[in-house]
Structure 1
Amino acid sequence: MSSNVNATGHGGSHHPNRLAKAKSPYLLQHAENPVDWYEWGPEAFEKAKREDKPIFLSVGYSACHWCHVLAHESFEDEVTAKLMNERYVNVKVDREERPDVDRLYMTFLQATSGGGGWPMSVWLTPDLHPFFAGTYFPKGQFRQALEKLANFWEEDRERLVESGKGIIEQLKSSSNASICSQVYKRLERLYDSVHGGFGGAPKFPSPSQTTHFLARLAALNIGDEKLKSEALKARDMAVQTMVKIYNGGIRDVVGGGFSRYSVDDHWHVPHFEKMLYDEAQLLSSALELAQLLPIDSVECKTLEAMANDIIIYVSRDLRNSEGAFYSAEDADSLPSSDSTIKKEGAFYVWTSAQLDELLGDNSDVFKFHYGVKSNGNCDPKHDVQGELKGQNVLYTAHTVEDTARKFGIPAEQVQVTLDQCLAHLKRYRDENRPRPHLDDKILTCWNGLMLSGLAKASEVLEGQAANALKLAEDSAAFIKKELYDEKTGELRRSYRQGPGPTGQADDYAFLIQGLLDLYEASGKEEYVTWAIRLQEKQDELFHDTEGGGYFASAPDPHILVRMKDAQDGAEPSAVSVTLYNLNRLAHFAEDRHGEYREKAQSILRSNSQLLEHAPFALATMVSAALTAQRGYRQFIVSGEASNSDTTRFLHAIRHTFVPSRVLIHLDPQRPPRELAKLNGTLRALMDDSANARPNVRLCENFACGLPIYDPKELKLA
């Protein structure tokens, strides 16, 4: 977005107002606004008392990009200026000239909204007591705030003066909070406090409907004393569920990866097929939840082990030679190379006698730890066809410490023994058992989900970081080469011996999300600019210009009705992920924020009935709306990627799960010139970045704070 100021910094061609006599460059930039501005001083305050009007105070500085945008959109607008002049006394302050004024009202802004920055907009009584404050307001919202607050001043002044917080709540929609509460309460009611998960058997991990939502609810509310206990409960329900999944038979203990679901209520006997979308979503959830825990806690280490387990499995068994990920492995397989009849789980299960034969002296330790029974550990009622009779599905029945106590040996030795046993069983299995059938088609949408998981892994997991980033970049490169048309901007849905049919909404949505995550992880602007281009194409093909929101399917003359399916299933709904994408893109390509936000709002409007009556079916959409309501936060990191100070900043930012994070890299060695064409804040900072020492600017609501030079000063929660 351009501020459209002329060479002198003035917009419009009005007779100069009082600010023409000012010395401050910032005030002079507003000297030709149609707003009847006053400088900070008695002339303005006496007028406010005499006419019994509230004061509108605007604070900024001359190099502030979003101050210029607010000026262009609102202070240069005749209708807005008329409203301001009739109902307020308007005061303009240069924060660099009057830091005392700035400091006083910034404290109020931060106390009442939880954030701060410039431009700062504050509404005051004639005796200078603040009653409402914000930063940058888009044009329509600014005028609405002016009107509402002026009406409140005339009709209910006492209450207005008493509580700025009350006004904030009236100006904010409360619907998202109540909808969030409904989703949370339903999950709390369904939660299995013994075995983790939500509801009874069969149990699906379903991250899009459960842990994804709970992680965001926890991260966004954990810093609020009123909401903290609920936030911690949300976190702990999600963590407990993921830990139980990891320790259950739903995990392939020998080879890694997770089955689609468990037929019982304690994650023991799985339906053995493995799906890429499950691996991807579990990877993301494990990493997000790990970041919400103390780094040395058992649960954090378990979740990081879970993430590593998934990365090892998908990179070894679900990846083609060019780096793209296959779709799935079947549940059924032949028990041995000379068998002719496939059985479910044949590749994965063991008899007690087999383990004795293969593991020798270590067998007893292994069998105790992994819950092996001499007659098999699968309950017959969960084995309808009798295929698992006498077989054992391995699961973590006891901790390493329990096993160590049982056999009177050190825990370290137990872990070494278990690792050796697992490696031996894997070799045996690979050499003697035919693998389940591999579904080797490559889906754009599921690769997009895996991009997100791997990008997060590259940020969070120290040991796996470089490997995870390369895996993600290889997958993106394959999609760009084989499933993307550079000329038209269109995606194909699948690849197997060549590209398949045209892409659907989830192909665009999940890939855009993955590319934004990959940009934040790598700092390579090619990923964010590709995501922007894909969003343009998704809007063109899927946006409903009449009814709002997005269709799920591509245009096709043979499809009689184009459906809009917002409900989450095994995967998040495409439109809910699109809601996240649009809100993030409004901050990456902020010059287009109005366009992105309008489309985002149209998603909520077009799904309002379902959100009202069955919000738990749209958990991803609800968490996307909550994240947007709390406000996205740009972290603009300036500094060479190789500089250790830059690395420290990035490490600090990535150490905490911040759902509303938008991480922008400003590396003078490879300046993001294409992104800067769509991001005014970035343009304003580009010239200064070459010689500056590494720093971070934190921007909220399109208002940026001063540069931070010490990672310890970063406020992430």
Structure 2
Amino acid sequence: MNRLKDATSPYLLQHADNPVDWWEWSDGAFAEARERDVPILLSVGYAACHWCHVMAHQSFEDAETARLMNELFVNVKVDREERPDVDAVYMEATQAMTGQGGWPMTVFMTPDGHPFYCGTYFPRPQFRSLLQAVHKAWTEQRDEVVGQGRKVVDALTSRGPGLGGGEAPDGERLSHAVQVLASSYDAARGGFGGAPKFPPSMALEFLLRHHARTGDAQALAMAGHTLEAMARGGLYDQLGGGFARYSVDAAWVVPHFEKMLYDNALLARVYGHWWRLTGSPFARRIALETCDWMLRDLRTPEGGLASALDADSEGVEGKYYVWTPAQLREVLGDDDGAYAEGLFEVTGTFEHGTSVLQLLEDPDDPERYGRVRTALLEARSQRVPPARDDKVVAAWNGLAVAALAECGAMFDRPDLVRSAEEITALLVEVHERDGRLARTSRDGAAGANAGVLEDYADVAEGLLALHAVTGDAGHMRLAGELLNTVLERFSDGEGGFFDTADDAERLFRRPQDPTDNATPSGQFAAAGALLSFAALTGSDWHRQAAEQALAPAAALAAQHARFAGWGLAVAEALATGPVEIAVVGGRDDPRTRALHRTALLAVAPGAVVSVGEPGQDGVPLLEGRLPVDGAPAAYVCRGFVCRLPVTSTDDLRRELRGQLK
């Protein structure tokens, strides 16, 4: 029988009516495989995955294919977003056996969980043949087949990441990392490397911070060009805001249309930081539109943010987003239709004469552009929308809290800050218990899967960003509890961190990967939060842990800087102290608010900010910092050693500029 009907994952529920006798990942599935003496067929994907849908339609909904699967295997379906640990270890095996990875991931393994044959998407004829071939090998050549798989498993379990030890990147390594990025930079189209192109969010954050610290014009130019190219191309939804997961081409024209919360949270923050550094109105617009898209299209009734929007609608990839000239004219009339056709590059850039929309230049007539855009967005809202994966992932909501809080403060949008506080309330009330986190929730109920390292680190990052904006000491204290769990439960004993806690389910390998992927690695995210917490509290324990966790970034910077972007960004903060800004005074006092806003606009990499009255909020950075002659004051510090306090915003700006010299 299919056991997915009671699953909480929207991805698993997509498969609840398959004729396949699916199991969730469970002890029961492994016991069943041992009892029947058959392999486990593990299928891993996620709700917004286009090729997962294709394989489901072709194979998992097909009666004959399902009959073969049920007869020959115990079939286990996993949502990679619920179980990133399962996904990580079997993806590592898939890449080791095949040289590539992707989703859906298809793994054949022994009843004790050891993989012996791996792949990704298989069309139905090949998949049926594969099922029969694996069964034949299992029954006739088991020792040989399992033995080959065992060699791969032994190789994976016998080696560590190989990047531990050493020190955090110093200034010389950080400058070298910029040159490493420049060696693969696409000077014509922005970004790094060729197609497909993913938003290099963490590398861009590093480049912006490096420019802020050193004035390196090349770093700013690469970041700015890439940020503009991504947001002008089809990767960005020119009508509704928000970024797709990646571009299938090198010029950011045709996206893979799924929209992920994590991409948009990271990018909203990076565009906000680009504005803070340059004052670019374009950066401001994209940051705010991306924040507004997250809240409009991903907000759940409980106040959190859903994981993703699907690439497909009505079974067709991109159908919701693309246009033909005739469709433009139908909505806008001939004159405005022709105008929109030229403005948005509707020249057959996608399939079957349709186009994704681009906006390669700012419109000459903003009023007309606004009217046309509003009309097209309204017309598009009448189409069948893509499905939404409405589970709430702790880590990705933590990233969103940081973006919404900072953009709300920078752009005077208190509604965004309130939304960040509401997301935080959900994380506290539903996901957090005694310093431990649940990975996901849905409909206000926590899922059964334990949080992984990135959940603790990214939620702590969001809490610390929200503390900087609101001054609420409770956010800082909860971040400290989560980071203490990281130090006590995730440490590898050598300065790094495992991706799962010491009491998590044991897989054939305990996952540990310090490199960035589509999101910051758990280790580098932990380093950033630990460093910020140390700067607020003066804790040597947390600071030393942050420095040790950054060691892999030094090794990666030499040749693979794209995979260490967040670690390099945190190292930029370490190189400047980070700068600590204590703003003391009543939060309702306009003078305090002016100093606080100036502090939040500081471009010093990773600067930490706290605002409040010393002795009342329990924030160590504020202790002993007093108003000056009764007036609110700001103290600019490093390592809790502060310069003389200032009471004017002009003087605070001068002090902050001096910290970057």
Match of 1:368 in 2: 342
In the aligned structure 2, how far is the partner of 1:177 from the partner of 1:526?
Answer: 35
Match of 1:515 in 2: 463
Give 2:411's match in structure 1, choosing from 424, 445, 461.
461
In the aligned structure 2, how far is the partner of 1:474 from the partner of 1:581?
Answer: 21
1:345-401 per-residue CA deviation (whole Å, 9 max, x = no partner) reads 00001111111111013112211111123xx233xxxxxxxxx21101111144323
Match of 1:36 in 2: none
Contact kept in structure 2, 1:235 and 1:289, CA below 8 Å: no
Match of 1:17 in 2: none
Match of 1:220 in 2: 213
Contact kept in structure 1, 2:240 and 2:377, CA below 8 Å: yes
Match of 1:496 in 2: 442
Cα pair distance change 1:702/1:421, threshold 3 Å: same
Match of 1:51 in 2: none
Give 1:549's match in structure 2, choosing from 486, 496, 500.
496
Cα pair distance change 1:302/1:308, threshold 3 Å: same
Give yes or no for the alignment of 1:653 onto 2:599: yes
Give yes or no for the alignment of 1:424 onto 2:375: yes
User: 5 Å matches for 1:661-700?
Assistant: 661-667=607-613, 672-675=616-619, 679=620, 682-685=622-625, 688-689=626-627, 692-700=630-638
- Unaligned runs of 5+ residues in structure 2 are 1-166
1:96-136 per-residue CA deviation (whole Å, 9 max, x = no partner) reads xxxxxxxxxxxxxxxxxxxxxxxxxxxxxxxxxxxxxxxxx
Cα pair distance change 1:236/1:606, threshold 3 Å: closer
Contact kept in structure 2, 1:325 and 1:447, CA below 8 Å: yes
Contact kept in structure 2, 1:218 and 1:235, CA below 8 Å: yes
Counterpart AA for 2:275: A
In the aligned structure 1, how far is the partner of 2:550 from the partner of 2:207?
Answer: 20
Match of 1:437 in 2: 387
Give yes or no for the alignment of 1:396 onto 2:359: yes
Counterpart AA for 1:331: A
Give 1:506's match in structure 2, choosing from 447, 454, 458.
454
1:588-616 per-residue CA deviation (whole Å, 9 max, x = no partner) reads 111xx221122223324577655666454
User: 5 Å matches for 1:468-479?
Assistant: 468-479=416-427
In the aligned structure 1, how far is the partner of 2:180 from the partner of 2:559?
Answer: 13
Counterpart AA for 2:644: L
User: 5 Å matches for 1:221-300?
Assistant: 221-222=214-215, 231-293=216-278, 295=279, 300=280
Cα pair distance change 1:430/1:654, threshold 3 Å: same
- Unaligned runs of 5+ residues in structure 1 are 1-172, 223-230, 335-341, 379-387, 402-413
1:532: how far off? 0.9
Give yes or no for the alignment of 1:626 onto 2:602: no
Match of 1:528 in 2: 476
1:558: how far off? 2.4
1:635-691 per-residue CA deviation (whole Å, 9 max, x = no partner) reads 1101112212112212222233222311111237xx64333xxx2x53323xx4597
Counterpart AA for 1:364: A
Give 1:352's match in structure 2, choosing from 296, 302, 325.
325
Contact kept in structure 2, 1:666 and 1:689, CA below 8 Å: no
Give yes or no for the alignment of 1:318 onto 2:298: yes
Give yes or no for the alignment of 1:197 onto 2:147: no
Q: Which structure has more RCO (C-alpha within 8 Å, separation ≥ 6)? A: 2
Q: How many residues align?
A: 486
Cα pair distance change 1:255/1:611, threshold 3 Å: closer
Counterpart AA for 1:377: T
In the aligned structure 2, how far is the partner of 1:565 from the partner of 1:436?
Answer: 32
Cα pair distance change 1:642/1:477, threshold 3 Å: same
Give yes or no for the alignment of 1:185 onto 2:179: yes
In the aligned structure 1, how far is the partner of 2:229 from the partner of 2:204?
Answer: 13
Counterpart AA for 2:623: R
Cα pair distance change 1:272/1:637, threshold 3 Å: same
In the aligned structure 2, how far is the partner of 1:420 from the partner of 1:180?
Answer: 46
Match of 1:113 in 2: none
Counterpart AA for 2:310: D
Give 2:639's match in structure 1, choosing from 686, 689, 701.
701
Counterpart AA for 2:648: D
In the aligned structure 2, how far is the partner of 1:362 from the partner of 1:612?
Answer: 52
In the aligned structure 2, how far is the partner of 1:301 from the partner of 1:503?
Answer: 38
Contact kept in structure 2, 1:368 and 1:397, CA below 8 Å: no
Cα pair distance change 1:278/1:616, threshold 3 Å: closer
In the aligned structure 1, how far is the partner of 2:414 from the partner of 2:617?
Answer: 26
Match of 1:566 in 2: 514
Contact kept in structure 2, 1:635 and 1:698, CA below 8 Å: yes
Q: Give the match's secondary structure for 1:674.
A: coil
In the aligned structure 2, how far is the partner of 1:663 from the partner of 1:578?
Answer: 19
| Identical counterparts, % of pairs | 30
1:290: how far off? 1.1
Contact kept in structure 2, 1:176 and 1:625, CA below 8 Å: yes
1:166-223 per-residue CA deviation (whole Å, 9 max, x = no partner) reads xxxxxxx895223213321121122222221111211111202x2011011111112x
Match of 1:408 in 2: none
1:326: how far off? 0.2
1:549: how far off? 1.5
Q: Give the match's secondary structure for 2:636.
A: strand
Counterpart AA for 2:393: L
In the aligned structure 1, how far is the partner of 2:601 from the partner of 2:558?
Answer: 35
Contact kept in structure 2, 1:525 and 1:672, CA below 8 Å: no
1:523: how far off? 1.2
Cα pair distance change 1:489/1:175, threshold 3 Å: closer
Q: Give the match's secondary structure for 1:648.
A: helix
User: 5 Å matches for 1:571-610?
Assistant: 571-590=519-538, 593-605=539-551, 610=556
In the aligned structure 2, how far is the partner of 1:398 from the partner of 1:619?
Answer: 29
Give 2:281's match in structure 1, choosing from 278, 301, 319.
301
Q: Give the match's secondary structure for 1:713.
A: helix
In the aligned structure 2, how far is the partner of 1:184 from the partner of 1:243?
Answer: 19
Q: Give the match's secondary structure for 2:432.
A: coil
Give yes or no for the alignment of 1:447 onto 2:397: yes
Contact kept in structure 1, 2:535 and 2:608, CA below 8 Å: yes
In the aligned structure 2, how far is the partner of 1:606 from the partner of 1:216?
Answer: 19
Give 2:349's match in structure 1, choosing from 357, 377, 394.
377
Cα pair distance change 1:440/1:460, threshold 3 Å: same
User: 5 Å matches for 1:403-418?
Assistant: 414-418=365-369
Counterpart AA for 2:207: L
1:538: how far off? 1.7
Q: Give the match's secondary structure for 2:277.
A: coil
Contact kept in structure 2, 1:248 and 1:267, CA below 8 Å: yes
Contact kept in structure 1, 2:173 and 2:554, CA below 8 Å: no
Higher Rg:
1
* 4+ residue runs over 4 A deviation: 605-616, 688-691
In the aligned structure 2, how far is the partner of 1:236 from the partner of 1:353?
Answer: 39
Q: What is the CA RMSD across the aligned residues, in angstroms?
A: 2.1
In the aligned structure 1, how far is the partner of 2:558 from the partner of 2:192?
Answer: 22
Q: Give the match's secondary structure for 1:349.
A: coil
User: 5 Å matches for 1:10-159?
Assistant: none
TM-score, reference length from structure 2:
0.71
Match of 1:332 in 2: 312
In the aligned structure 1, how far is the partner of 2:560 from the partner of 2:294?
Answer: 35
Contact kept in structure 1, 2:587 and 2:612, CA below 8 Å: no
In the aligned structure 2, how far is the partner of 1:377 from the partner of 1:188?
Answer: 29
In the aligned structure 2, how far is the partner of 1:368 from the partner of 1:199?
Answer: 29
Give yes or no for the alignment of 1:207 onto 2:201: yes
Cα pair distance change 1:175/1:351, threshold 3 Å: closer
